[in-house]
Every structure is written in C-alpha cells, then in structure tokens.
C-alpha cells in the first residue's frame, strides 16, 4: 500500500511526502514513491499523518464492571481516538493480581483485534495495600508495570519492599500517589507527600518509578529535580489536568482532583522543559448512576487529541512534533513497542488528523459506554479522521 502526498509529522520530522507499507510495517518513506496497486492519495485534503497514539493509563473495566466499559467498546473508543496501543489498569473485579487474569485480558483484547493492550499487574494483592507475595512469584522481565492505580500504598515499609523486588525483577512501578489518610481533608498533601516519599525510595534502590497523572506544582517540581539528579523517575500528565481547573469544571470529581491555574501552568512548563514523558488519558468510564454516587474520573480516549491539540499546540505552548512525542513516541518506547515513529521498520500505525475546523465535543457521540466528561459542549480543533494499525484503516469509510 502507498499513502501519498500527505503532511507527515513525527517527533523528528515534518514534511509532505509518501509512505510505503508492506506486511504491516513502514518499508519506505520519501517523495514521489510509486508502483503500488493500493494507493491512498491525500493531495487534495488539508490533513496530517502522525504516528498513532499510545496510552499508558486507561481502564477497560473488564472483567467485572463491563456495564461501564468492556474490551470491545474500549478498543473501539481507543481506535476512534487515534490509539493503537494501551496500558490497562488492574482495578477490575477480580483485581488483575495474578498472571492468569493479565493474560486473559490481553488475549481478549487481541481477539477483538483493533488495538494492542498490555495489562498491568496490581502492586498489592486485591489492591489492599499490604500483601505483595504475588510479586515474588514473577520471573525477571515477566511483566513491565505494576500499579495499584486508584489507590496509593500508604505503608512506607511495604512500599520499600516493593521497590526492592522491582529492582531485582526489572519492573517499573506506576504510582497513583494519594495517601488516603489525607484524602478527605487535603488532596494536595495526599499527592505531594507520597510523591516525595517515592522519589526517596526510588533513589535509594535505584529502582524505577513512573508517576501517574501528576497534578500539582509541588509534585512536578520534585520530579524535575529528581530527574536532574539522575533518579530513575518518569511521569505522565492527563489531558484534563492540562486543560482545566477546579473552578472551570465546578469541582467535577476525579482523582487527583482538578487543581488551580498555577498547577496547570507548572504542568505546561514541565512539558516545555521536557520533564513530562507522556500524556496519558486515565480513561475512566463510569455509568451516569455511578457518577451521581460519586465515582471519580472521566472518559478520555475519544477526546484526548483535540483537547491537547487545542490547549497546547493551537495556543502556542508547544509544537505538533512535541505533542506527537508525548502521545506516541515516548509512551510507545516505555511500552517497548515498535511504533511511534514514521521510519522504515516501524509498525504502519498512523493517525490522520484535520487541525483547522473547530467542532464541539458531544459525549453522546462517544463509542465508549462512559459518557462521563466535563468537556461536553467544549469547542476544540484537531479531529481524528482515521486510525491505521499495521496498515489496516479504521473506520473503513
Ligand atoms: O478518577 C479516577 N478514576 N482516578 C483514578 O485513579 C482511578 C479512576 C477509576 O478507576 O475510576
């Protein structure tokens, strides 16, 4: 297959040209390529081709909460939003705290066939914050990430032991930093104290940690300092924490919560300074009833790119190449995937986007079962038109 005359942007190049795809991989890039029977010519369209996105942090709710989302609707929502690879959180029912569940979820997503999914293993048994015997059973390199996402591990000694095991088995901790002893009274303190503690432990054992959905100025500045000192830390921020404050969203419930403008500014500064490794959605679908009962979180896969494009690129904070790096190249590298760049040998995973025409987000049009978002009604630019995976296009027309 040949894709012709399209503006191609990845983290290291921006040119108008052609891409040849063979056996699901990019075989050649350049200008004036010819000779293939299937040829998609974009010369009359004002569109861009980027490497398809990779999301380090999402919830498919499967098994156990499939009334909120399941592997099929989640995969479709991902693909519609421009994603071909995702990293699933383990707060399912049963919790993904053993390799049978991990493998079963990965197999079922593969059967749907729209995206690649890595299922994370929980850090503690049943997400209870105490028992971590299951980690001792893992072989070295058997799993990429462990996480108790949705909860922090309050106990310092437990966390210290987990860091030691992760060093030995080459596992990266993905940390939801929230000390629940402070959740009811001070969510800023809850995030900051646990972030500071885990930087100390990561440094002590030279054991890697990835901070999920960083949201405060204090946490991101501590992470920046740790990076400068060579501590093996990485971090992600969400589209929602980059684009809105608690005031604008009327304190819409999400963990960590929407913060203040000074926090948003600090996160954007950290993106500009290269401190942030990835933008991850924390796609957290819930039913309307669960939201009314206080469930935290929002659905994100189908609006991540337009939200980020509008708030970061269109507003002039960063260029499109930097956004590609954060939504595709770097998270793909962290998941050890052969994607995220438009280069021969990489997967033919692309997203075609149109950047100029404004549109209004309408959660009723989401494929995801979760219609929960405070951004319905918001005007944005950056529409995802098509997502290719290994050369196959979605949607097909
Ligand atoms: O708001 C959130 N919702 N934050 C999390 O960390 C978990 C997520 C969920 O699972 O609903």
Q: Is 249 helix (H, G, I), strand (E, B) or coil?
A: coil
Name the residue of 59, 190, 294 to mutate for ligand 1: max ligand atoms within 8 A of Cβ: 59
User: Are both 238 and 375 inside the same structural domain?
Assistant: no
- The reply to whether 324 and 206 lie within a common domain is yes
| CA 271–ligand 1 middle distance (angstroms) | 23
Residue 35: pLDDT band by 50, 70, 90 thresholds?
confident
* 35 & 58 share domain: no
Q: What is the pLDDT of residues 51-63, one digit of tens each?
A: 999 999 999 999 9
From 87, 147, 282, 372, give the residue whose CB has the most ligand 1 atoms within 8 Å, as the site to mutate. 282
Ligand 1: nearest atom to the Cα of 151: 6
The position carrying tokens 């949201």 is 215
Q: CATH number, domain at 168? A: 3.20.20.140
Total tally of structural domains belonging to the chain: 2
User: Does residue 152 have its Cβ closer than 6 Å to ligand 1?
Assistant: no
Query: Phi and psi for 168 in degrees, rounded to 5?
Result: -65, -35
- Do 84 and 389 meet the contact criterion of CB atoms below 8 Å apart? yes
**Strand 359-360 to strand 83-88: parallel, antiparallel, or no bridges (unpaired)?**
unpaired
Beta bridge partners of 383: 354
Residue 345 lies in a domain: no
Ligand 1 contact via 284 beta carbon (within 6 Å): yes
* pLDDT score of 116 more than 90: yes
pLDDT tens-digit map of 310-339: 999 999 999 999 999 999 999 999 999 999
Based on the domain organization, do 336 and 357 belong to the same domain?
A: no
Does ligand 1 lie within 6 Å of residue 332's CB atom? Answer: no
Ligand 1 centre to CA of 58 (Å) is 9
Write down the mean pLDDT value for the chain. Answer: 97
Query: Do 174 and 154 fall within a single domain?
Result: yes
Residue 301: closest CA among 323, 331, 275, 279: 279
**pLDDT at res. 397:** 58
Report whether residue 215 contacts ligand 1, using a CB cutoff of 6 Å: no
pLDDT tens for 124-158 read 999 999 999 999 999 999 999 999 999 999 999 99
Residue 208 lies in a domain: yes
Asked if residues 34 and 24 have their Cβ atoms less than 8 Å apart, the reply is: no
Q: Is 59 in the pocket of ligand 1 (CB under 6 A)?
A: yes
Query: In terms of residue numbers, what domain contains 385?
Result: 2-49+351-394
Ligand 1 atom nearest residue 295's Cα:
11
Residues 241 and 355 in one domain: no
Enumerate residues 6+ apart whose C-beta is below 8 A from 10.
50, 51, 321, 324, 328, 329, 340, 341, 342, 343
Q: What is the pLDDT of residues 162-218, one digit of tens each?
A: 999 999 999 999 999 999 999 999 999 999 999 999 999 999 999 999 999 999 999
Q: How far is the CA of 270 from the centre of ligand 1 (A)?
A: 23
For the four alpha carbons of 43, 381, 114 and 322, in that order, the dihedral sign comes to positive
Which positions ≥6 away from 394 have C-beta within 8 Å? 79, 80, 114, 386, 387, 388
From the CA of 46, how far away is ligand 1's center (Å)? 37
Instruction: Tell me what the mean pLDDT of segment 228-255 comes to.
Output: 97
pLDDT bucket at 84, cuts 50 / 70 / 90: very high
Cβ 287 under 6 angstroms from ligand 1: no
- Between the alpha carbon of residue 89 and those of residues 15, 97, 183, 311, 380, the distances in Å are 37, 11, 21, 26, 28
> In this structure, what DSSP letter does residue 347 have?
B
Check residue 310 and report its DSSP letter.
I
Whether the per-residue pLDDT at 36 is higher than 80: the answer is no
By the 8 A CB rule, do 282 and 238 touch?
A: yes
Q: How far is the CA of 325 from the centre of ligand 1 (A)?
A: 25
C-alpha to C-alpha distances, 276 to 154, 163, 280, nearest whole angstrom: 25, 22, 11
List pLDDT tens digits, range 257-270.
999 999 999 999 99
Is residue 289 domain-resident? Answer: yes
Cis omega (within 30 of 0) for bond into 283: no
Q: Are residues 263 and 386 in the same domain?
A: no
Atom 4 of ligand 1: nearest residue by CA position: 255
The reply to whether 215 and 361 lie within a common domain is no
Q: Ligand 1 centroid vs 116 CA: distance in angstroms?
A: 22
Q: Which two tokens stand for residue 29?
A: 């890039």
Q: Judge if pTM exceeds 0.85.
A: yes
82 and 156 co-located in one domain = yes
Q: Report the alpha-carbon distance of residue 261 to residue 274 in Å, rounded.
A: 20
Residue 71 lies in a domain: yes
Q: Averaged over 357-372, what is the pLDDT?
A: 98
Average pLDDT over residues 343-367: 98
Question: Are 357 and 318 in the same domain?
Answer: no
Tokens (6 digits) for 257: 């919560």
Rounded to the nearest angstrom, the distance between the alpha carbon of 253 and the centre of ligand 1 is 10
Does the C-beta of 68 come closer than 6 Å to ligand 1? Answer: no
Same-domain pairing of 184 and 200: yes
| Closest CA to ligand 1's atom 6 | 150
Provide the CATH number for the domain around residue 379. 2.30.40.10
Whether ligand 1 lies within 6 angstroms of the CB of 149 is answered as yes
Single residue among 300, 321, 340 that ends a domain in this structure: 340
Task: Specify the 3-state DSSP secondary structure of 9.
Answer: strand
DSSP state of 390: T
Would you say residue 31 lies in a domain? yes
Chain centroid offset of residue 42 CA? 29
Please state the length of the chain.
397
Instruction: Return the residue whose CA atom lies nearest to atom 9 of ligand 1.
Output: 284
* Residues 239 and 174 both lie in one domain: yes
Burial class (CB in 10 A: 0-12, 13-18, 19+), 113: exposed
Active site residues: 282
How does residue 381 score in pLDDT terms, banded at 50, 70 and 90?
very high
Element of type H or E holding 307: helix 304-308
């Amino acid at each position: 297959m040949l894709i012709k005359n399209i503006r191609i942007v990845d983290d290291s190049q921006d040119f108008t040209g052609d891409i040849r795809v063979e056996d699901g991989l990019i075989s050649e890039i350049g200008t004036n390529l010819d000779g293939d029977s299937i040829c998609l010519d974009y010369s009359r369209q004002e569109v861009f081709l980027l490497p398809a996105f990779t999301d380090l942090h999402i919830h498919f709710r499967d098994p156990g909460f499939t009334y909120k989302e399941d592997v099929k609707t989640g995969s479709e929502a991902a693909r519609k939003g421009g994603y071909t690879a995702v990293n699933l959180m383990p707060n399912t029912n049963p919790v993904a705290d053993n390799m049978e569940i991990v493998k079963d979820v990965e197999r079922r997503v593969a059967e749907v066939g729209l995206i690649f999914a890595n299922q994370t293993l929980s850090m503690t048994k049943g997400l209870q914050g105490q028992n971590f015997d299951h980690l001792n059973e893992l072989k070295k390199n058997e799993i990429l990430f462990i996480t108790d996402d949705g909860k922090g591990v309050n106990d310092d000694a437990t966390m210290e032991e987990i860091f030691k095991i992760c060093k030995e088995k080459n596992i990266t901790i993905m940390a939801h930093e929230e000390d629940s002893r402070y959740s009811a009274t001070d969510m800023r303190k809850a995030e900051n104290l646990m972030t500071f503690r885990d930087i100390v432990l990561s440094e002590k054992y030279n054991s890697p940690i990835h901070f999920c959905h960083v949201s405060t100025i204090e946490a991101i500045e501590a992470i920046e300092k740790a990076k400068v000192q060579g501590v093996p830390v990485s971090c992600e921020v969400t589209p929602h924490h980059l684009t809105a404050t608690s005031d604008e969203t009327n304190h819409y419930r999400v963990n960590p919560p929407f913060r203040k403008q000074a926090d948003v500014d600090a996160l954007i500064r950290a993106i500009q300074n290269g401190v942030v490794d990835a933008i991850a959605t924390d796609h957290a679908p819930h039913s309307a009833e669960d939201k009314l009962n206080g469930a935290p979180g929002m659905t994100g896969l189908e609006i991540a790119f337009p939200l980020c494009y509008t708030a970061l690129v269109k507003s002039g904070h960063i260029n499109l190449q930097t956004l590609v790096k954060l939504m595709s190249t770097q998270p793909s590298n962290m998941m050890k995937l052969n994607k995220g760049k438009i280069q021969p040998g990489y997967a033919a995973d692309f997203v075609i986007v149109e950047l100029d025409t404004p549109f209004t987000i309408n959660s009723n049009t989401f494929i995801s079962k979760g219609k929960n978002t405070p951004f319905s009604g918001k005007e944005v630019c950056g529409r995802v038109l098509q997502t290719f995976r290994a050369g196959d296009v979605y949607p097909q027309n």
